[in-house]
Amino acid sequence: MSHDHHEATGPMDGGFARPNPMLWLNEEQATGVFLNPSADGLSLIGVPEPMRRKRIMIDANAEATPFLRRTLAAIRDALSAAAADGRGAAFNIAGMTADERAMLLDALGDGDVSAVAGDDPLWQATETALTGVWHVRGTNAAGAIIRQFIEVAPVPGCVGEVVRMLGRHMPNLPAVPPQGVMNALPVLAEIAERADGWAPGTPNHVINFTLLPMTPEDMDFLMGALGRIPLTIVSGGYGTSRIIGTAVRNVFGVQYLNSTGQVILDTIEVGDVPASALAAREDFEDSAQRLGEIMEAYL
C-alpha cells in the first residue's frame, strides 16, 4: 500500500443503479453471490469507490505545530485506552491547517481497510497504517464535507450507525417457493432465526454458499429477500475480503478473493460486523507502541 500524502477528493455516488444491486451484472459468467465479474474481478455492483486522497506537497520548512503534537499524543493515549477497555475516541481534524492535516496523515500512513456507509450523509473511512486508527469523512448530498476526523475504534462508528438505522427484520416469506426455487427458503429461514436471536458477544454464524446446491433461481430469490443497504467494507493486505451490508439487520455478505481476484469463499455472516474488518485489543496495543515510535522519529 502506498503511503502518499493525500486529501479527500469530491463526492462519490452512494446510490445504486439497479433495483436489486446484489444481482450479478452478467449472471451467466457469475463467480460469486455478490460479485460483478468485471475484467479485474474486484468490482461490486452499487459500491462506491473508497475514499481517495490526492498528493499534497508539504512545505519543506513546515514544522510540527503544538496542535499537531497534542493531536498525535491524544491518539496514542486513546489507543492505549482502547487496548485496556475497548473504548473508542474521535479527534476533529477539520480545523487543522492544510500543512497540519497533511503532516498528520503522513505520520499515520495508509492501511488496507476502507469503508463506505450511508447515503446522506455519505461516510467514507480509510484505516491508517495503524490498525484501529481511521480517517473518516462525512459529506452531504451536495458533496460538501460536514465532518472530518480521526477515529480510534475497532470499526468506524458510522458502520454500526448505518446498520442500526437501515436494518430491518426478514420480510415474510411465501409458504410455496416460486418456480425454480429449491433451497432458498430453508436457508432464509435459518438466516432469519439466527439474526433475530443474535446478541452481542455471540459468535457469528457463517453460511458457505460454495457448499450449498443453490440454483440461479435460489440465489435470485435469496438476494431479493435480503436486499441491500449502502454499506461496504473492503479489506486488503495478504488477501482481499469484501463485506456487504444486507437490509436484514445483523446479516452481511462476505466474499474472500485470491490474488487474481477470483472468489474463493462466498458466504453470509449473521451477527456482528465480520471480524475481517475489525481491530482487536492487541492491535490497539501494538498501534499505540508504533505511534510512539513514529512520533519520536517524525517529530
Cα distance between residue 88 and residue 112, in whole Å:
20
> From its phi and psi, is residue 203 left (phi > 0), alpha (psi between -120 and 50) or beta?
beta
Q: Contact, 250 vs 271, CB < 8 A?
A: yes
Cβ contacts of 213 within 8 Å, gap of 6 or more: 182, 183
Domains of the chain and any CATH numbers: 47-154+279-298 (3.30.1370.140), 165-277 (3.30.1370.140)
The pLDDT tens digits for 142-188 are 989 999 999 999 999 999 999 999 989 999 988 888 899 998 999 99
Cβ contacts of 229 within 8 Å, gap of 6 or more: 162, 163, 166, 167, 245, 246, 247
Residue closest to 246 by CA, chosen among 260, 259, 262, 229: 229
Cα distance between residue 14 and residue 120, in whole Å:
8
Residue closest to 278 by CA, chosen among 247, 248, 259, 254: 254
Q: Contact, 131 vs 290, CB < 8 A?
A: no
Cα distance between residue 248 and residue 226, in whole Å:
6
The pLDDT of residue 159: 95
Instruction: List the strands of the sheet with 231-235, edge to edge.
Output: 89-92, 145-152, 133-139, 122-127, 113-118, 231-235, 240-245, 251-257, 263-270, 205-208
pTM for this predicted structure: 0.79
The pLDDT of residue 236: 80
The pLDDT tens digits for 208-240 are 987 788 888 998 899 999 999 999 999 886 678
Q: Between the CA of residue 200 and those of 84, 115, 162, 197, 204, what are the distances in Å?
A: 19, 22, 17, 10, 10
Q: Across the chain, how many H-helices and E-strands are there?
A: 6, 10
Residue that has been written with the C-alpha cell 463506505 in this structure: 116
Q: Contact, 150 vs 104, CB < 8 A?
A: yes
**DSSP alpha helix (H) spans, the chain:** 66-85, 98-108, 157-166, 184-197, 216-226, 281-298
Cα distance between residue 265 and residue 64, in whole Å:
46
Q: What is the DSSP letter of 249?
A: T
Each residue's pLDDT expressed in tens, for the chain with a length of 299 residues:
333 333 333 333 333 232 333 332 332 333 344 443 333 333 333 344 445 444 444 455 567 899 999 999 999 999 999 999 888 999 999 889 988 999 999 999 999 899 999 998 999 999 999 999 999 999 999 989 999 999 999 999 999 999 999 989 999 988 888 899 998 999 999 999 999 999 998 999 999 987 788 888 998 899 999 999 999 999 886 678 899 999 999 999 998 888 777 788 889 999 999 988 889 999 999 999 999 999 988 77
112 burial (CB, 10 Å; 0-12 / 13-18 / 19+) is middle
The pLDDT of residue 238: 65
